[in-house]
Amino acid sequence: MLRIFGITVGLLLGSSIQAERIENFVLLDQHGEAHNLYYHREKSAVVIMIQGNGCPIVRNALTDFKALRDTYADQGVHFMMLNANLQDQRSTILAEAEKFGIDMPILHDETQLIGESLNLVRTAEVLVINPKTWQITYRGPINDRQVYERQKAEASKHFAADAIASALANQPVAVASRDTMGCLINFAQRNVDHAQISYTETIAPILQEKCVICHTEGGLGPWAMSSYEMVRGFSPMMREVIRTKRMPPWHADPHIGTWKNDKSLSVEQAQTLVHWIEAGAPRGDGEDPLQGLAIAQAEWPLGEPDLILEMPEYTIPASGVVDYKFPRLANPLEQAVWVKAATVIPGNREVVHHILAGSIDATTAQAKRNSGVFDNYLIGYAPGNETNIFPQDTGVYIAPGGEYTFQLHYTPIGREVVDASRIGLYFHDKQPGNFYRQSVVIDPTIEIPANEARHAEVAYYEFDKPALLHDLVPHSHYRGVASKFELMGPDGSRETVLSVPNYDFNWQRTYTFMEPKRIEPGSRLVHTTWYDNSAANPGNPDPSRTVPWGLQSWDEMLYGAFSYTLVDETSEAPVLDKALADTTQMVGFLDKDMDGKLSWQELPGRIKKRLIQGFKMVDSNADGGLDIQELYSMSQRSRESKGDNASTGAGSE
């Protein structure tokens, strides 16, 4: 009924009969934040203005566009801008936004693939989108105020506002499309004949480099890129996962840092793949490099391990939630070892979500053993991250005694399966030059308010000695949507060293720096995670719940693991004081105002209780707060008086 009406109106007014549908995409904006168009499916309309630096029409339309946004702000209309200009970069877009007061996201279409698919021609065009059908109900100028080199004081026709009003009233739009005045966009590859792209020489090699490791028989990917026919069949789906940045599973912002294990597609590779798919995925001439290609997967890629740790057999049910498993194995060795590498072989690649492996020293307090924190971290396995080789001439020292501990997370796959995973350790023949160390920026006191769409939690770890930072692992659960690590100098300067703007719980990635990052004493590693506890987050188990810390995925974590070496440490002369490191970790999450000391308000109840009388005494420099050194001295004193080695560290109580 409605559709017939729509067609009639369309015919009468001479506009196109079928409004075009906008396909989903994920783009990063001028600040590096990710935007997924279809996230806004509950909005009453989505409005996008095409922006371009240096275009006078765009600049002159900004006031009108902002006014439009303010008018519809409380009616569930979502406003964004999109820049598909060949010549604009994130930094120049940011500068333009600052100069012209653009206080909304400008999505940067770096590959121009989204702009091409939207048939953009000029900037200043406004798209009004109906999120119920994802149809573009209006495209054209915002109003009639501007023509080239001239503008009226007031618009007399308000095309975009009319289209939004129609959308809100569930009415068809009177005129669905108008010519836009704006600056022509150079789509450099629009008139190139993409049917000439060679499957044999260009496409198959990209897939081999970036995809086939998983998309192979028996691999982790659900289908194998085993021939041209398979690739062609899945090609529309490949286009979709590239546009939405789901594949390949590598989620670091490409503009920040360079990574040894970078698995992402370059801008050119993404363009080539999508253009080839849009040209109909032509076969062309030449052999099929993927035909009969078998990835030789050595059972132990580094050779036979020195020690194999066998996990118990677990039966994973067909569906439901499987509690984390925390198996332990007594250390079977009677001599100390220096581990130089570790490999995880999942028993069943389909169900093993992730495995963390490490060890706990014999001297560690029982309480800490149950906290999910390791003394000696070895490897975090996730699909695509099977092996951890520590930097040259470093090792993880494991004393005799103690136990190996693990955290296993399984995800059911629709049929019952049994998993028995194994972890292989490789030892140095002789003592390496230095310790390879790992720690975590953690906050077990987090609280994520119900229904909040972008809640941030922050903690830091302050280095008291020069260090080299080797890798970073952001970790949160279903509500975690973005994560960032910054280095903050003693002068307060900040440098982002890793940003994961569209964090995906399915992929527990380790990001390894191409060159280790040097950290000076007094600098902090600041870790922020943003959580989406709203109903719009499709992965959210329960938006109505205030979410606390917890190991299970319906709870949350602020957990940023990092590996480092201390510059002045050698394996002969260790300088790391573990009790001090524990105190440092604790201050890093209790110090909410980040002034380097804990005020009375910031102190947790258990310490407050102990210090009702003694706060002034512990605060030896009398600055009204307890810093790391003061808290550490206090814990040392209580340790001595108790005559044991109980720790005051994070997670120990």
Instruction: Please tell me the distance from the alpha carbon of residue 537 to that of residue 479, in angstroms, as a whole number.
Output: 7
Residue closer to ligand HEC (CB basis): 175 or 220: 220
Is position 265 an interface residue for ligand HEC (rule: CB under 6 A)? Answer: yes
Of the pair 213, 579, the CB lying nearest ligand HEC is at: 213
Q: Which is nearer to ligand HEC, 185 or 238 (CB)?
A: 238
441 pairs with which residues across the strands?
560
CB 378 within 8 Å of CB 396: yes
Specify the residue, 62 or 247, whose C-beta has the smaller distance to ligand HEC: 247
234 binds ligand HEC, rule: CB under 6 A: yes
Nearer to ligand HEC, 10 or 249 (CB): 249
Q: Which is nearer to ligand HEC, 7 or 237 (CB)?
A: 237
In the complex, the smallest distance separating the C-beta of residue 117 from ligand HEC, rounded to whole angstroms, is 17
CB of 509 to ligand HEC, least distance (A): 9
Pick from 408, 215, 178, 411: which is nearest to 309 by CA?
Answer: 408
- Does 237 sit near ligand HEC (CB under 6 A)? yes
- How far apart are CB 166 and ligand HEC at their closest, in Å? 36
Q: Binding mask 502-531 vs ligand HEC (x if CB under 6 A, - otherwise)?
A: ----x-------------------------
Interaction of residue 140 with ligand HEC, rule CB under 6 A? no
Number of residues in the chain: 653
Concatenate the DSSP letters of all residues of 120-185 into one string: --BTT-EEEEETTTTEEEEEE-S-SSEETTEE-SS-S--HHHHHHHHHHTT---S--B-PPPSPBP
Task: Give the per-residue contact string, 30-59, with ligand HEC (x = CB under 6 A; - = no).
Answer: ------------------------------
Min dist CB 210 to ligand HEC, Å, is 4
> What b/e sequence results for 84-122 when a residue is b if at least 16 CB atoms lie within 10 Å of its CB, and e otherwise?
bbeebebeebbebbeeeebebbbbbbbbbbbbbbbebbb
Does 213 sit near ligand HEC (CB under 6 A)? yes
In sequence order, what are the residues at sequence separation of 6 or more whose Cβ sits closer than 8 angstroms to the Cβ of residue 66?
A: 103, 104
Binding mask 469-508 for ligand HEC (x = CB under 6 A): -------------------------------------x--
Q: How far apart are CA 276 and CA 269, in angstroms?
A: 11
Based on the shown chain and the rule CB under 6 A, indicate whether residue 249 belongs to the binding site for ligand HEC: yes
Listing DSSP states for 443-472 in one string gives -TT-EE-TT-SSEEEEEEEE-SS-EEEEEE
> Is 248 a binder of ligand HEC (CB under 6 A)?
yes
CA distance 351 to 300: 20
Q: Which of 127, 238, 487, 497 binds ligand HEC (CB under 6 A)?
A: 238
d(CA 356, CA 374): 9
Burial class (CB in 10 A: 0-12, 13-18, 19+), 174: middle
Q: Is 221 in the site for ligand HEC (CB under 6 A)?
A: yes
Within residues 381-420, the interface with ligand HEC by CB under 6 A covers 383-384
Distance CA 307, CA 309 (A): 6
Question: What is the spatial distance between Cα 500 and Cα 483, in angstroms, rounded to a whole number?
Answer: 5
Considering the complex, state which of residue 234 and residue 404 has its C-beta at the smaller distance from ligand HEC.
Answer: 234
Is residue 309 close enough to count as binding ligand HEC by CB under 6 A?
no
Q: Does 211 bind ligand HEC (CB under 6 A)?
A: yes
Binding site for ligand HEC (CB under 6 A): 210-211, 213-215, 220-222, 234, 237-238, 241, 247-249, 263, 265, 383-384, 506
